[in-house]
């Protein structure tokens, strides 16, 4: 069975972009593979962040993952900082990571541009990501297209480490593959850029029916539909993309037809979408509410997840330390 690893930052709000683009697929993958899913708090601190809410955002993200259906009996769900081997392997992998490759990462360049002082952690972000995956010798990494460059670097790091340290001793890092999601990318409600909590253009996965409708009403559609009688093009409409995530196929066809013929106005289309979203999301919201009422139970589940992850991580680290020639005794 292939091993799968993926991570999500503790933004504090799981939104429908995360759900359709990633997390919904994780729920499927847990039935097919040996899966680890991680709330990557150590990645979240590479940019300026609110210290006082990090722990709360982390637990809320875990609650979200369980509410959408990740099952701790099937997948290992845990918090990155609870398994200190992530940081340790990150350091060791730094020694085989070419600085030039890090400086070339487009995400780094984007994020660095928005900062006056650039922390080294931001540059090393992809090395920590490589450590996340290689620590479990995972081979499949479900990610969006924006992570492909990080995946390529991860493979390069694995190759370089293997070339320098594997020494025919029977231990190597496999080169992980990206598992690209086939879902079309959901844009924010502005229809301009990707959906993101920090941009305030999201529909939260656990928003109430009223909020969902309030947010959908003014959301961007095909800009060519200026008046009610203008026909639209569903292929370029973000609302139609969301329909593809929440509405059954016959509804999607009906929506597309009524858009192209101006049979419906955008608000008619959005009302149908709201109803389908609410039908899908209500049970998830209720599960999240139940979990929020039992924070101790969620913490225990995360602790158990970390213990399982850590057992795997320790096995890798014993071999990695040995291959790199470090003096034994760390396990004591
Ligand atoms: N960088 C990823 C993102 O922003 C999150 C992440 C951290 C990740 N570690 C990972 C994804 C390991 C896949 C595998 O989406």
- For ligand 1, the distance from its centroid to the CA atom of residue 8, given in whole angstroms, is 6
Q: Ligand 1 atom 13: the closest Cα is on which residue?
A: 6
Q: What is the sign of the dihedral through the CA atoms of 9, 11, 15 and 17?
A: negative
User: Ligand 1 atom closest to Cα of 8?
Assistant: 5
- For ligand 1, the distance from its centroid to the CA atom of residue 19, given in whole angstroms, is 15
Q: Ligand 1 atom 10: the closest Cα is on which residue?
A: 7
Interatomic CA distance for residues 328 and 332, integer angstroms: 9
Between the alpha carbon of residue 149 and those of residues 8, 126, 155, 290, the distances in Å are: 17, 9, 10, 38
Q: Which residue, chain included where needed, has tokens 């620590």?
A: 135
Interatomic CA distance for residues 225 and 259, integer angstroms: 9
Interatomic CA distance for residues 130 and 94, integer angstroms: 10
Interatomic CA distance for residues 157 and 95, integer angstroms: 10
Q: Which residue, chain included where needed, has tokens 């999201």?
A: 202
Which of 147, 179, 180 for mutating ligand 1's site (highest number of atoms within 8 Å of CB)? Answer: 147
Q: Is 221 in the pocket of ligand 1 (CB under 6 A)?
A: no
pLDDT tens per residue across span 219-278: 999 998 989 999 999 999 999 999 999 999 999 999 999 999 999 999 999 999 999 999
- For ligand 1, the distance from its centroid to the CA atom of residue 254, given in whole angstroms, is 37
Q: Is 7 in the pocket of ligand 1 (CB under 6 A)?
A: yes
| Between 331 and 86, the higher pLDDT residue | 86
**Domains in the chain with CATH codes:** 3-186+295-323 (3.40.50.620), 206-290 (1.10.240.10)
Mean pLDDT value of segment 15-21: 96
User: Ligand 1 atom closest to Cα of 126?
Assistant: 1
Q: Is 154 in the pocket of ligand 1 (CB under 6 A)?
A: no
Which residues does the annotation mark as catalytic? 111, 194, 197
Which of 129, 144, 175, 196 for mutating ligand 1's site (highest number of atoms within 8 Å of CB)? Answer: 129
Q: Ligand 1 atom 8: the closest Cα is on which residue?
A: 7
What pLDDT score does 182 carry?
Answer: 83
What pLDDT score does 43 carry?
Answer: 98
- For ligand 1, the distance from its centroid to the CA atom of residue 65, given in whole angstroms, is 15
pLDDT at 60 over 90: yes
pLDDT at 170 over 90: no
Give the Cβ contact number of residue 195 at 10 Å.
22
For the entire predicted model, the pTM comes to 0.95
SS (H, E, C) 201-265: CCCECCCCHHHHHHHHCCCCCCCCCCCCCCCCCHHHCHHHHHHHHHCCHHHHHHHHHHHHCCCCC
pLDDT tens per residue across span 72-128: 999 999 999 999 999 999 999 999 999 999 999 999 999 999 888 999 999 999 999
Q: Is 143 in the pocket of ligand 1 (CB under 6 A)?
A: yes
- For ligand 1, the distance from its centroid to the CA atom of residue 261, given in whole angstroms, is 42
Q: Is 141 in the pocket of ligand 1 (CB under 6 A)?
A: yes
Q: What is the chain's mean pLDDT, rounded? A: 96
Q: Is 40 in the pocket of ligand 1 (CB under 6 A)?
A: yes
pLDDT at 45 over 80: yes
Q: Ligand 1 atom 7: the closest Cα is on which residue?
A: 7
Nearest-CA neighbor of 149 among 163, 164, 133, 130? 130
∠ CA 308-81-103, nearest 5°, is 120
Question: pLDDT-based confidence at 169, cuts 50/70/90?
Answer: confident
SS3 content of the chain, % helix, strand, coil (to 5): 55, 10, 35
- For ligand 1, the distance from its centroid to the CA atom of residue 43, given in whole angstroms, is 8
Q: What is the sign of the dihedral through the CA atoms of 280, 283, 284 and 285?
A: positive
pLDDT tens per residue across span 183-233: 888 999 999 999 998 899 999 999 999 999 999 999 999 998 989 999 999
| Between 10 and 329, the higher pLDDT residue | 10
pLDDT at 332 over 70: no
Q: Ligand 1 atom 6: the closest Cα is on which residue?
A: 7
Nearest-CA neighbor of 302 among 23, 76, 25? 76
């Amino acid at each position: 069975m292939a091993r799968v690893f993926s991570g999500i930052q503790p933004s504090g709000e799981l939104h429908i972009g995360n759900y359709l683009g990633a997390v919904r697929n994780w729920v499927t993958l847990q039935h097919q593979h040996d899966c680890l899913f991680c709330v990557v708090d150590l990645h979240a601190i590479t940019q300026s962040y609110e210290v006082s809410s990090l722990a709360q955002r982390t637990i809320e993200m875990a609650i979200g993952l369980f509410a959408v259906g990740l099952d701790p009996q099937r997948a290992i769900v845990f918090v990155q900082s609870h398994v200190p081997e992530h940081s340790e392997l990150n350091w060791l992998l730094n020694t085989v990571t070419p600085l030039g490759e890090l400086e070339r990462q487009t995400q780094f360049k984007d994020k660095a541009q928005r900062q006056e002082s650039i922390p080294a952690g931001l540059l090393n972000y992809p090395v920590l990501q490589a450590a996340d995956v290689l620590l479990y010798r995972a081979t499949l990494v479900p990610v969006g297209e924006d992570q492909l460059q990080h995946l390529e670097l991860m493979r390069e790091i694995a190759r370089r480490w293997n070339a320098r340290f594997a020494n025919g001793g029977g231990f190597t890092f496999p080169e992980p593959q990206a598992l690209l999601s086939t879902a079309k990318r959901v844009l924010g409600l502005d229809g301009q850029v990707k959906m993101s909590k920090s941009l305030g253009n999201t529909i939260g996965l656990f928003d109430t029916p009223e909020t969902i409708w309030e947010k959908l009403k003014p959301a961007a559609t095909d800009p060519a539909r200026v008046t009610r009688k203008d026909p639209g093009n569903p292929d370029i409409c973000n609302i139609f993309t969301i329909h593809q995530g929440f509405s059954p196929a016959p509804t999607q066809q009906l929506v597309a037809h009524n858009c192209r013929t101006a049979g419906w106005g955008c608000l008619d289309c959005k009302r149908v979408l709201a109803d389908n979203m609410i039908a899908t999301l209500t049970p998830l919201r209720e599960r999240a509410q139940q979990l929020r009422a039992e924070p101790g139970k969620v913490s225990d589940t995360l602790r158990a997840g970390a213990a399982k992850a850590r057992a795997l991580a320790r096995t890798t680290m014993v071999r990695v330390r040995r291959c790199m020639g470090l003096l034994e005794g760390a396990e004591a």
